[in-house]
Chains A and B, each alone.
Chain A
Amino acid sequence: MSAAVARWAVLALAAVATVAVQVSVLSRLPLPGATPDLVAVLVVGVGLVAGSSPGAAVGFGVGLLLDVAPGIDGVLGRWALCLTLAGWVAGLLSARVAGPSRRAPWATAVGVMAGLAAATVMGSWGLTALLAGDARTAPGAMQAVRLLPTQALYAAVLSLAVLPALAALERRTGPARRMRRPRPSPAARNPRPATPGQRR
């Protein structure tokens, strides 16, 4: 139980810190193209490492924080919607690329990260254009497409730091650990019993 509390406490702290760093530091770096998107990397990373439900939950929470963050103005719920979907899809893709028992190689994870981070740009663009009301103030599609290469590149670079951290967090506090903990017998060291009927 306490592992689950620790897991969500760490994720909540990471979410607040990530949003603060995103608007006060990363968005002000004079870099070409997109802004390095630590927020999207965190959400997609949680989805990849922990699955769809944690991904969607963290996506919603972080998105809501980003919606109300200083420096950002726009319709409330826009980022929440966009990042909920991103976290969910990341979880689905991790199930797909990892298969039922294998673990996906790092390169695949970084590739999925870059692709999904780019997808959030298109999602944000689509929602902004949809909600703009006035066609003249809506951002052009080219404006979004121009951001895609740099967004994918920055996300891939950031994920090299974020994915191992999230994987470590999941190893220590994730559900797999909790399942193992109450059974100190030698059989419990193996997380997957050979046959389901091996109960005591």
Chain B
Amino acid sequence: MLRPARRTGHPVRLLAALLLASVTLVTVDLQVPQGPTAAVRRAGSALLGPLVRAGGSASDAVAARWDALARADATRAELERLRAANAQLRTALLAGEDARARAGQLDRLLQLTGAGGYRVVPAQVVAVGPAQAFRRTATIDVGRLDGVRRDSTVLAGGGLAGRVLRVQERTSTMLLLVDASSAVGARLAASRDLAVVRGDGSGSLRVDLLDADRPLAAGQRLVTFGSRGGTPYVPGVPIGEVVAVDGGAGGAAGRSGTVRPSVDPDRLDLVGVVVGGPRRDPRDPLLPRRSPAAG
């Protein structure tokens, strides 16, 4: 089925031209971020945005099927027996489950943000970068028209999801907390010690305590320290829980460790973007009410 490459024209010249064009794009984008490459990006999101939004809703259905398939593996025989009986009920059940799950996510989101008096726009993740891009980003279906600004905090039901990197009219691109370039000022919820939480790019977080003399232990919970003006991060949002502390020799021993994020970055679905804060700082952390200020 394969044919040899045809010797037509000057293929090497074509290659050289394309490579030169790519390198020029890279250079221009690095040197003049708001220059001509911004127009290219706008054109791209205008072309692909509607397609991706349509694909995003299809992908929710695909993901639901996929999960169901994976679970059904062990009980395939029984599933086959029940399938005929359940055929009619399944559609309604899936829809109901989906609605309940979304309602639950929205409830947790509202509970989280209601405490602090922040205004939040709910949003849906419509596109995610592939793992081989080595950059953990996602696109959500709210944008400038909904009040989203660059560096707005993005929350999910369990806590902090990330921040907004780029805003278009109707969509925005967010940087996930687990991206390698993401760094968040944090406090240990119980001891109020300051720390920096960084993504490691693969799915978990690293924490470094700023004060070398303070203890770090597994089970401690981290919340955002908060930035001036609430951007990029509003204060008091749960980040995650320390699951392991680095031991052994070395300067960093005992004060850095691994954090399991409160929000699973691989299953982001419904998120909320903080578009406005209370007029005065509420001094009131956004920790979930069930476990107030637990450490």
Partners in one complex: yes
Q: Which residue of chain B has its CB nearest to the CB of A23?
A: B127
How many B residues are at the interface, by size bracket? 35 or more
Interface membership of chain B positions 2-29, coded 1 if the CB is closer than 8 angstroms to chain A and 0 otherwise: 1111101101001100110111111011
Instruction: Please tell me which stretch of B44-52, B108-116, B145-153, B187-195 contacts chain A, meaning at least 4 of its Cβ atoms lie within 8 angstroms of it.
Output: B44-52
**Complex contact A24–B126 (CB within 8 A):** yes
**Complex contact B132–A147 (CB within 8 A):** yes
How many A residues are at the interface, by size bracket? 35 or more
Chain B hits for A98, CB < 8 A: 2-4
Instruction: Please tell me which stretch of B53-61, B98-106, B235-243, B278-286 contacts chain A, meaning at least 4 of its Cβ atoms lie within 8 angstroms of it.
Output: B53-61
Q: Is B30 part of the binding interface, using a Cβ–Cβ cutoff of 8 Å?
A: yes
Interface membership of chain A positions 3-46, coded 1 if the CB is closer than 8 angstroms to chain B and 0 otherwise: 00000000000001101111111111110011101000000000
Those of A43-82 within 8 Å (CB) of chain B: 48-53, 56-57, 59-60, 63-65, 67-81
Q: Is B213 part of the binding interface, using a Cβ–Cβ cutoff of 8 Å?
A: no
**Complex contact A72–B5 (CB within 8 A):** no
Interface membership of chain A positions 164-196, coded 1 if the CB is closer than 8 angstroms to chain B and 0 otherwise: 100100100001100000000000000000000
Not counting A24-B58, A28-B125, A97-B2, a sample of 18 additional A-B residue pairs whose C-beta atoms are within 8 angstroms of each other reads A19-B48, A23-B139, A27-B128, A30-B66, A49-B1, A49-B2, A53-B14, A60-B18, A63-B22, A64-B40, A70-B45, A71-B137, A72-B130, A84-B19, A85-B19, A103-B2, A128-B133, A143-B134
Q: Is B227 part of the binding interface, using a Cβ–Cβ cutoff of 8 Å?
A: no
Chain B hits for A68, CB < 8 A: 40-41, 43-45, 48
CA–CA, A29 to B8, complex, Å?
A: 41
Residues of B at the A interface (CB closer than 8 Å) are: 1-6, 8-9, 11, 14-15, 18-19, 21-26, 28-30, 37, 40-41, 43-45, 47-49, 51-56, 58-59, 62-63, 66-67, 125-135, 137-139, 165-166, 171, 173, 175, 180-181, 198, 201-202, 266-267
CA–CA, A144 to B252, complex, Å?
A: 26
User: Chain A interface mostly helix, strand, loop or mixed?
Assistant: helix
> Which 9 A-B pairs have CB atoms at the shortest separation, nearest pair first?
A68-B44, A77-B25, A71-B127, A24-B55, A51-B5, A35-B130, A81-B22, A70-B139, A76-B29
Taking the closest CB of chain A, its distance from the CB of B75, in whole angstroms, is 19
Q: Which residue of chain B has its CB nearest to the CB of A17?
A: B51
Chain A hits for B198, CB < 8 A: 136
CA–CA, A125 to B131, complex, Å?
A: 11
Taking the closest CB of chain B, its distance from the CB of A91, in whole angstroms, is 5
CA–CA, A98 to B11, complex, Å?
A: 18
Task: Tell whether A71 pairs with B2 under 8 Å between CB atoms, given A16-B47, A33-B131.
Answer: no
**Complex contact B134–A69 (CB within 8 A):** no
Chain B hits for A49, CB < 8 A: 1-3
Taking the closest CB of chain A, its distance from the CB of B31, in whole angstroms, is 11
Taking the closest CB of chain B, its distance from the CB of A16, in whole angstroms, is 7
